[in-house]
Amino acid sequence: MKVEIENKMIKVDVQYGNRKKLSIHIDSFGFITVKAPKDTSQEVIVSAIESNGKRILEKIHEIEVAREIPKAREYHAQGKFLYLGKECFLHELIDSSELNEEVLKRNLKKFYINSCKTIVEERIKVYQKQLKVKPKIIEIVESKAKWGSCSSDRKLTFNYRLAMAPIEVIDYVVIHELCHLLHMNHDRSFWRRVGSIMPDYKEKEEYLARYGHSMSF
């Protein structure tokens, strides 16, 4: 379902079930899910979204800003950068001797891209066996909006900045996207499948929402 709020079109996944009240949830990716009692009309759902429009837009804005605000870094051997959830000296990640800032930035980005590719491919091998799915293509990309995505042609993409996150957070994003090979929408079946592999996945979502802005260089 798509609903227009203040001239901005937002996509909403609606889940119907045995519940008494309607609720709206926005995860760390900016995905919006409405959980509603059975037989709830579309008009009621749209009205609920519109009445919470300001809060929804503010939350989406917070997520977008958090992913765009860069943290100032010092590009020298003792400068600190995140890798797998820990701060490391630049010289521990790449060769930092006698190189200018522009070259160091370029080489560090290559390091993150290559590391992310290696880690993601290894973790996919682990979880695709459990989920009994297999992606057709795996790509590492640069994105300000998403940590991962799954297309209808079974292509999975992952943000190279994930290499800065703890391995269990990377695992969550891998599981999240692999589960989309079974359920393209964020419906109840999707989250049930994610939870069957990683019961504490909400903690990983919270990590990305809270610390995603610091995963930059």
Q: Which whole number is the average pLDDT over 33-51?
A: 91
Residue 62 has pLDDT above 70, yes or no: yes
In sequence order, which residues have a C-beta less than 8 Å from that of residue 73 and are 6 or more positions away?
79, 80, 81, 217
More confident call, 214 vs 88: 88
Long-range contacts of 188-191 (CB under 8 A, 24+ apart): 188/15, 188/17
Q: Give the domains, in start order, of the chain with CATH numbers.
A: 2-68 (no CATH), 112-214 (3.30.2010.10)
Determine the pLDDT at residue 127: 96
How sure is the predictor about 181, in pLDDT bands with cuts at 50, 70 and 90?
very high
Q: Per the confidence metrics, is the pTM higher than 0.95?
A: no
Determine the pLDDT at residue 189: 93
Q: Which whole number is the average pLDDT over 131-147?
A: 92
CB atoms within 10 A of CB 180: 23
- pLDDT tens for 81-114 read 999 988 899 999 999 887 888 899 999 999 999 9
CB-neighbour burial class of residue 13 (10 A; exposed 0-12, middle 13-18, buried 19+): middle
